[in-house]
Amino acid sequence: MDFSLNDEQKMMIATVRRFIAEELKPLEDEIENQGFLAPEKAQAIHDKSKELGLYALNISEELGGGGLSNLDRILCEEQFGHTTDILIRRAFGNIYEPLLVCQGEQVNRWLKPTVAGERTCAIAITESGAGSDAAGIKTHAKKTQINGKDGWVLNGSKHFISDGEWSDFFLVSAKTGEKEISMFMVDKGLPGFVVGKDQKMMGIRGTPHLELFFDNVALEPIALLGGEGQGFKLAMGALNVVRLAQVGARAVGKASHVLELMVDYAKERQQFGQKIGDFQLVQQMLADSAIEINAARWMVYHAAWMLDQGFDAREQIAMVKVHAAETLGRVVDRAVQIFGGMGFCKELPIERYYRDARIYRIFDGTSEIHRTVIARSVMKKGAVLFDVNR
């Protein structure tokens, strides 16, 4: 096994790291204080990131993206974790993998403009009555005739849709039969499509989370993504990669960033005439954080490697989701403790990291749901689950 990174990978990490430190970190306080990212600043970071070839890294070069392998993408996503959600979205793009199923005219209308950063997309699965049970949605689409052609009419609602305000179109899951779920690309501005309120959250300020309402929205046949009844499979399959990248790798990056701050503070802050980092109880918090982050990082890299080798990594990614999200939670909690009152005080970003981290255990499948998946697999397959060579 070769665990080393090659020179190209090291250079790529250094470029992303520098871009985040120089262009994105300075915007964080402003977003936190005013609650949004100014559109002209969003445009500026988007343009600079494109210039450096950092936009749409997860998409193939033929489509205009960065063409990175899963492992290389993960290395970048880990660095993305050093900054906030809205800055990552605006600077590096948020091109959801289900879009790659686009065919024919769909490619020019939705996929390519999104990869080019001319259009922005959000994913809309959750409803007020259907969260963990994503198959329990009520939103439905019925076949109809539009201008003499087959089309669809969409009714229902969604909530908690990240980035909804910035998005030009949405990947919407809808029932197209008793049990059958399909996926549609729904453009903002269509008659009957109403964007509701921004649902204020305890963290990740600056990212809007919207309600969406569909009242007899007429959709052309071309709006159907990946065939009738394919929506659920499509979303769940694609979200697996999203989970590894946007939750697993970013959580590892965030936790590492916070640990760096904890170490600096422990070396500098003095009490009882000595550095707090000399106290063994403080050292224990640093050591436990380092151990857990290290384990989470290798789990993330391993799952990415499995995907690149063509292995089914669903179970590994479920484990990554739980472990990385919970590691981040424990690390930010220890950070508040090590910083003492300053950890709780808004003069430093530690309290923000603490709030921002909490969602990692909830979105993209809660810890409980992923534990259920893992338990089911381990009961069926035993310890062989962990061994890709058997």
Ligand X SMILES: Cc1cc2nc3c(=O)[nH]c(=O)nc-3n(C[C@H](O)[C@H](O)[C@H](O)COP(=O)(O)OP(=O)(O)OC[C@H]3O[C@@H](n4cnc5c(N)ncnc54)[C@H](O)[C@@H]3O)c2cc1C
Q: Considering only 160-168, 175-183, 300-308, 324-332, which stretch makes contact with ligand X by CB under 6 A?
A: 160-168
Closest distance to ligand X from the beta carbon of 278 (Å) = 39
342 near ligand X, rule: CB under 6 A? no
C-beta separation of 352 from 345 below 8 A:
no
The answer to whether 355 contacts ligand X (rule: CB under 6 A) is no
Do strands 193-198 and 140-146 pair parallel, antiparallel, or not at all (unpaired)?
unpaired
* Binding-site member from 126, 157, 289, 316 for ligand X (CB under 6 A): 126
Nearest to 69 by CA among 296, 302, 304, 243: 304
24/124 with CB nearer ligand X: 124
Confirm or reject binding of residue 157 to ligand X (CB under 6 A).
no
Among 264, 268, 278, 368, binds ligand X (CB under 6 A): 368
Q: Which is nearer to ligand X, 223 or 357 (CB)?
A: 357
CB-based contacts of 102, cutoff 8 Å, min separation 6? 110, 111, 225
**Min CB(73)–ligand X separation in Å:** 19
What is the Cα–Cα distance from 156 to 330, expressed in whole angstroms?
38
Structure tokens at 44: 């500026």
CB under 6 A: which stretch of 224-232, 245-253, 314-322, 361-369 binds ligand X? 361-369
Q: Percent helix, strand, coil in the chain (nearest 5)?
A: 55, 15, 25
- Choosing from 69, 155, 337, 366, the residue that interacts with ligand X (CB under 6 A) is 366
Specify the residue, 99 or 293, whose C-beta has the smaller distance to ligand X.
99
Name the one range near ligand X by CB under 6 A: 143-151, 298-306, 346-354, 365-373. Answer: 365-373
Taking the complex as a whole, the smallest distance from the CB of residue 133 to ligand X amounts, in Å, to 6
372 binds ligand X (CB under 6 A): yes
From residue 283, how far is each of 286, 335, 341, 378 by CA, in Å? Answer: 5, 12, 18, 35
Handedness of CA 134, 135, 138, 141 (dihedral sign): positive
Q: How many other CB atoms are there within 10 angstroms of residue 93's CB atom? A: 24
Q: Does 334 bind ligand X (CB under 6 A)?
A: no
Query: Does 6 help bind ligand X (rule: CB under 6 A)?
Result: no
Q: Contacting ligand X (CB under 6 A), which of 175, 209, 323, 370?
A: 209
198 part of the interface to ligand X, by CB under 6 A: no
Task: List phi, psi (to 5°) of 207.
Answer: -90, 120
Calpha distance 117→19 (Å, rounded): 18
Residues forming the site for ligand X (CB under 6 A)? 122-126, 131-132, 160-162, 201, 209, 359, 362-363, 366, 368-369, 372
